[in-house]
Amino acid sequence: MSGKRIAVLVSGGGTNLQALLDAQARGEIRGGEIAAVLSSKEGAYALERAAKAGIPGYVAARKSFPDNRAMTRAIVDRLQTLDIDLVVLAGFLHILTEEMVQAYPNRILNVHPALIPSFCGAGCYGLHVHEKALAYGVKVTGATVHFVTEEPDGGPIVLQKAVDIRDARRLRTILREGGDPKEVLSLRKAAPDELASAMEKLLARDQSNWLPVLYGLTALYGDDPEDLAGVDIWDEGFWRRCNPSLGEHLKLRALRLEAQEAKRSPAGEKLFRWLRLNQWISVKAVGWIPLTLYDKTQWGPSAKAEREAWLGRLRGLKCYGGLDLSTTTDLTALTLLFPPQPGLEHWVALFQAWRPEEGVREAEQRDHVPYQDWARAGFLTLCPGDMIDFPQVEEAVADAAGRYELALLGVDPYLSRTLTQRLMDRGVQVVEIPQTMPSMSPAMKELERLIRAHRMLHIHNTCARWCFGNVRCAVDGNENMKPMKNRSIGRIDIAVAWIIAMATAIVAENQPIDLETAMQRPDFSL
């Protein structure tokens, strides 16, 4: 293997190192190779892992040097002798002085066992980070990969991953039933005598124990929505009650920016309540983008004849497609998404949809929408019979490929395999976009950003407007989201096709680059 030479610095068992070695074995490290492992501790198991992988190991034991500066200089000399291009700190438990950053600017990555800016900086390393997180009673922790600068844990963040901390909130029940309270305990509703009793039990044990206090909305007010109704979550004084580390590990300015962003959507507010105010909330669907904002981003006239003439402006332009298929009840939808390009200043979305003609009158009464009027207006195509006419959908995609420059079509794998093969036989490039949170979340966030900035416009389609208004967001603790219906009869298929088209554009326009190319960038970004 050839490319940039990577050195991994460790201090202990080397679990992060092993993950890197496994990734290298799978061919996932493009443009580089792990050429050396350097440990700050003699006999570290990480050196054995390196030896098993056939990678040379070196030791720069901290106790062998008078201070961190001397150790840093020795490490720099070793790395330069080995002709190292990139340094990865994977569980390295010592602060390196400025000589390291000067020798390898924008070429040092660190793995920190917390969600920076929480529990980071001087003194926050190794198990000390987890001890502080547990002591503060936070509900969510995680890990951060970031660039190393002269400020400890202060470099730009590359990647973060959150994990939940177990929350055992039934202290009184544990004590009453004679259980072991030494695990995670919540003290929010415990009486003083119960707390004293718990502490006595803990202190009487020979084992080490901990008893964190739970902070946040749920701890202060409970889970009753009525108790929470009058709480002003935007009060900065209230934030401090929920975040005792505010101003130390969590900066007030950063929290203000998060709050401003959270005010923009129900989904954002829900995540703010969950992750910053420690409120126990359901992960059921919440609102996405208001229809009032959607209505402000229409491109071109509403009348059918004028609309058709307006569409002539898009002929021959590059676009990405999103296809959401159905069989009977739901709509089948195709969205064409035109990115900014010569002749087009903004993103523009063009919608097309189908549903079976049979049962359309009953569907109008059930869904409370005028499907037949939409068909007459050109917003919807009614397929003869009780099934979606897939050959008709195929022809529509082929027509779009001939009318426009269809660069890539994204399809949900559900129901699409046969149609996908037929389209590929006709020269259409296809990529699968499953309707999962990892696939849909980046596209939904990018769509929302573009719509709120009035940089994402759409061709007037009343059926599409109805679908858009039915969208709600399912969110998780990692701030991922996916579209959901707001009710059982509400259709969201055109909006889903729009999101798939956006995901397809992201795939096409943001292909990952290899390590060697990334290192040529001033910010060393992947």
Residues with catalytic roles: 112
DSSP state of 339: P
How would you classify the pairing of strands 347-356 and 332-338?
antiparallel
- Helix, coil or strand: residue 219: helix
CB 110 within 8 A of CB 146: yes
- What CA–CA distance (Å, rounded) separates 512 from 181? 48
Q: Give the residue from 306, 336, 324, 309 showing the smallest Cα distance to 458.
A: 336
DSSP state of 63: G
What is the Cα 353 distance to its own chain's centre?
A: 30
For residue 286, the number of C-alpha atoms closer than 13 Å in the C-beta half-sphere is: 18
Within 43-97, strands assigned E span: 57-59, 86-89
- What CA–CA distance (Å, rounded) separates 183 from 288? 38
- What CA–CA distance (Å, rounded) separates 334 from 331? 10
Q: How many residues are recorded in the chain?
A: 526
Other Cβ atoms less than 10 A from the Cβ of 67: the count is 9
* Peptide bond preceding 340 in cis form (omega within 30 of 0): no
DSSP class per residue in 452-503: HTT-EEEE--HHHHHHHHTEEEEE-TTS-EEEEESSTT---HHHHHHHHHHH
- Helix, coil or strand: residue 156: coil
- What CA–CA distance (Å, rounded) separates 415 from 413? 6
Instruction: Give the type of residue at 144.
Output: T
- Helix, coil or strand: residue 152: coil
Distances (CA, A) of 201 to 135, 178, 246, 417: 18, 11, 32, 62
- What CA–CA distance (Å, rounded) separates 37 from 31? 18
Instruction: Report the run of H or E that residue 68 belongs to, with start and end.
Output: helix 68-81
* Peptide bond preceding 244 in cis form (omega within 30 of 0): no
Taking each helix axis as running N to C, give the angle between helix 417-425 and helix 390-403, from 0 to 180 degrees, rounded to the nearest 10. 40
Rg (CA), the chain: 28
DSSP state of 278: -
- Helix, coil or strand: residue 190: coil
- What CA–CA distance (Å, rounded) separates 337 from 350? 6
N-to-C CA span, the chain: 20
- What CA–CA distance (Å, rounded) separates 434 from 285? 19
